[in-house]
Amino acid sequence: TFPVTVSTTGHAVPSTLYGLMFEDINSGDGGLYAELIMNRGFQQVTPGTSAALQAWAALGSTSHISVVKSSTAVSTALPNALSLTVTSGTTGTVGFTNTGFFGIPVTAGWKYSGSFYYRFPTSPATQVSGSFTVDLRSTTGTVFTSTTVPFTSSAGWKKVTFSFTPSSTQTSVSNLFALSVNAATVSGLTIEFTLISLFPPTFNNRANGIRMDLSQALLDMKPGFFRFPGGNNLEGQTPAQRWAWELTVNDVVNRPGRLGDWGYINTDGLGIYEYLQWIEDMEMEPIMAVYAGYSLNGQSVASADMQQYITEAINQINFVIGSTSTAQGAIRAAMGHPAPFTLNYVEIGNEDFLSQATASYASYRWADLYNALSAEFPQLNFIATSATSGFVPAISPAPKFWDLHIYSNPNFFINGAFNFDILARNGLQFFQGEYATTTQNSGASLPYPFIDGSIAEAAYMTGFDRNSDIVFAASYAPLLNHVSSTQWTPNLITHTPNSVIKSTSYYVQQLFSLYKGDTYLTSTTNTASSPVQWSATKNTAGQQVFLKVINTATTANTVVFTLPFGTISTAGTGTVLTAASGTMNTPASPNAAAPKNFTFTAGKTITYNAPGLSASVLIVSAH
């Protein structure tokens, strides 16, 4: 039995203590970003190759399609187009289909909003007109919803929009988007298409927006912050391939996209504006990274060449908070958000403790950017990335905020619950920007989080609660993966085109985030070797006390809390996540482990029997 006396003293818990880390890994396109058409603009592909046609296929044997470099591009950002050539005399229907991002959800009642650009590269002597048909269909050709779009063959690119609403929901996501035309009406002609786009309804009904079900799953965690755009995906394989904010703004027809750092092309349809608007809609605050001159091929920008990147970072920040009299603030206003976005934290680089990054970060990259940015924006907090893997920054000027990353096994997290207790209170604030149990203690990899690792993470997180006077933010990473396109496991949330699988670690993150309170209450100290860790916080306004109990043993353990409050309700409610060792939530068993609510008798003394491998919160009204 573990006797725990809770005191009335403690310290404030920052609103940013628990949040989300995101980059386009495993699924920005095809995941958070709601665009349903894969390879919609043929960005960054080589015309004439089969790869250029990724996700596209001819409709029937008489349709001839290829990706071409358009003789007149729709924009400088999008030089390529899909070319449909209709041989003279062809009869019947011609056109092409798209598989979506490994599937397309067909949901009754959803108004799908689509658009595309088309042109006739060679305008015929006698103008022709007719209509394209666009539809959603099964892979076997059953049409679920469709509409038509008129066309004329006059010269030049034309943008058309359309919408349709299925009347029934398909359980299968093996569906196609199709664009077709009666061959006879365009016999002997070639038609080019690009930026072929289809959106479902989006979170907060934003154009070019974010997927609703994933937004809801994240909203249900009440996350305090959102770190973006990376992570590795900030850095590029080379400086020229870095994530550059300016290539991700304005209309998507002006966004070239880039080869992301996880092996696939990013459309950058989810650009800096869409990130910031969604972060605001989700009532989070951004922790925004700026490129700091190090790329993943090990190349650091030379000291003499840093000015370009300093200017780019200043411009990126002005896009977020600059007045509309700045060129960058004016772009933000023109996109629909004249007021500045909320911004308190800017991270300079990512993982600059890796290989060659350390030397250049410590000798000039950190100082160059920190000095320039803090002079330009004295109100902002600048976060350094760990230029050593320890807890003590080895860079100057001494950073006030410090991003640590740790991926390890359950034992590390169980034994690390007190890693922050021993750190000096010298003004340095820590951001545990990335952490996860990524292997079993045996070293075996994890396709999904498992209960043993999630409960280990929970033990470590009691350290974040207890040390939230120096830990201002913490986020599990990576956040998402598409079940059909995964570059890293495990991930907090796995999704298919139409379903969300919450991992055991999701529920641990949710429990700590929902019940972080605004004040940590000092309680009986514990040791790292204990199988049980606890944390007491309170919500002052709500007069609620949250008692978290983490039991990393496979057998039950009892905790006896003694509360210091004069008024305590006699009935408490609680939530517990527990499962047999090895349990994972997967697409095949999405609810193998789910939190269960319970009630308990509360009072000055509360006895709780924590199941083996469990994370619990006991909620009691008290003041």
In the block, tokens 């999704």 appear at 495
Shortest distance, position 433 Cβ to ligand LXE, whole Å: 8
Between 30 and 478, name the residue whose CB sits nearer to ligand LXE.
478
Answer for which of 387, 477, 547, 602 binds ligand LXE (CB under 6 A) is: 477
Please give the residues from 402 up to 431 whose contact with ligand LXE meets the rule CB under 6 A.
Answer: 405
Shortest distance, position 357 Cβ to ligand LXE, whole Å: 11
Sheet containing 190-199: order of strands:
64-69, 80-85, 190-199, 112-119, 158-164
**517 touching ligand LXE, by CB under 6 A:** no
Between 268 and 434, name the residue whose CB sits nearer to ligand LXE.
434
How many other C-beta atoms can be found within 10 angstroms of the C-beta atom of residue 57?
Answer: 14
Between 486 and 614, name the residue whose CB sits nearer to ligand LXE.
486
**229 touching ligand LXE, by CB under 6 A:** no
**209 touching ligand LXE, by CB under 6 A:** no
Please give the residues from 433 up to 462 whose contact with ligand LXE meets the rule CB under 6 A.
Answer: 434
Contacts of residue 205, Cβ cutoff 8 Å, sequence gap at least 6: none
Shortest distance, position 242 Cβ to ligand LXE, whole Å: 14
Task: Give the separation between CA 290 and CA 271, rounded to whole angstroms.
Answer: 14
Buried b (16+ CB within 10 A) or exposed e, 546-566: bbbbbbbbeeebebebebbbe
Shortest distance, position 487 Cβ to ligand LXE, whole Å: 9
Query: Count residues contacting ligand LXE (CB under 6 A)?
Result: 12
Interacting stretch for ligand LXE, rule CB under 6 A, among 98-106, 229-237, 284-292, 448-456? 229-237
Between 177 and 413, name the residue whose CB sits nearer to ligand LXE.
413
Answer for which of 194, 266, 350, 468 binds ligand LXE (CB under 6 A) is: 350
Helices (H), 131-264: 212-219, 232-235
Task: Give the separation between CA 494 and CA 416, rounded to whole angstroms.
Answer: 27
* Cα–Cα separations (whole angstroms), residue 389 to 256, 392, 425: 36, 8, 19
Q: Yes or no: say if 114 and 197 are a contact pair by the CB < 8 Å rule.
A: yes
* Cross-strand bridge partners of residue 568: 622
**478 touching ligand LXE, by CB under 6 A:** yes
Element (H, E) at 375: helix 366-376
Shortest distance, position 150 Cβ to ligand LXE, whole Å: 46
Between 144 and 275, name the residue whose CB sits nearer to ligand LXE.
275
Answer for which of 231, 293, 517, 572 binds ligand LXE (CB under 6 A) is: 231
Task: Give the separation between CA 405 and CA 422, rounded to whole angstroms.
Answer: 18
Q: How far is CA 325 from its chain centroid? A: 31
How many other C-beta atoms can be found within 10 angstroms of the C-beta atom of residue 89?
Answer: 10
Between 175 and 232, name the residue whose CB sits nearer to ligand LXE.
232
Interacting stretch for ligand LXE, rule CB under 6 A, among 230-238, 505-513, 560-568, 596-604? 230-238
Site string for ligand LXE, 232-271 (x = CB under 6 A): x---------------------------------------
Between 250 and 487, name the residue whose CB sits nearer to ligand LXE.
487
Which own/partner contact pairs does 528-531 have at CB distance under 8 Å and 24+ positions apart? Answer: 528/414, 528/415, 528/416, 528/417, 528/418, 529/415, 530/2, 531/557
Between 270 and 331, name the residue whose CB sits nearer to ligand LXE.
270
Answer for which of 24, 29, 351, 352 binds ligand LXE (CB under 6 A) is: 351
Shortest distance, position 393 Cβ to ligand LXE, whole Å: 18
**230 touching ligand LXE, by CB under 6 A:** yes
Tokens of 163: 């919408």
Task: Give the separation between CA 30 and CA 495, rounded to whole angstroms.
Answer: 10
Interacting stretch for ligand LXE, rule CB under 6 A, among 161-169, 224-232, 412-420, 543-551? 224-232
Contacts of residue 3, Cβ cutoff 8 Å, sequence gap at least 6: 524, 559, 560, 562
Tokens of 175: 């569906």
What are phi and psi for residue 316, nearest 5 degrees? -60, -45
Contacts of residue 160, Cβ cutoff 8 Å, sequence gap at least 6: 115, 116, 117, 118, 132, 149, 151
For residue 617, the one-letter residue type is V
Q: Is the dihedral of CA 150, 155, 161, 166 positive or negative?
A: positive
Between 135 and 261, name the residue whose CB sits nearer to ligand LXE.
261
Torsion, Cα of 345, 350, 352, 354 (10° steps): 150
Please give the residues from 19 up to 78 whose contact with ligand LXE meets the rule CB under 6 A.
Answer: 23, 25
Tokens of 6: 């809770």
Interacting stretch for ligand LXE, rule CB under 6 A, among 67-75, 102-110, 153-161, 226-234? 226-234
Task: Give the separation between CA 357 and CA 384, rounded to whole angstroms.
Answer: 13
Interacting stretch for ligand LXE, rule CB under 6 A, among 122-130, 228-236, 329-337, 544-552? 228-236
Shortest distance, position 475 Cβ to ligand LXE, whole Å: 10
**393 touching ligand LXE, by CB under 6 A:** no
**284 touching ligand LXE, by CB under 6 A:** no
Shortest distance, position 608 Cβ to ligand LXE, whole Å: 35
Shortest distance, position 261 Cβ to ligand LXE, whole Å: 7
* Cα–Cα separations (whole angstroms), residue 603 to 3, 352, 585: 15, 50, 35
Question: Binding residues for ligand LXE, per CB under 6 A?
Answer: 23, 25, 230-232, 350-351, 405, 434, 477-478, 488
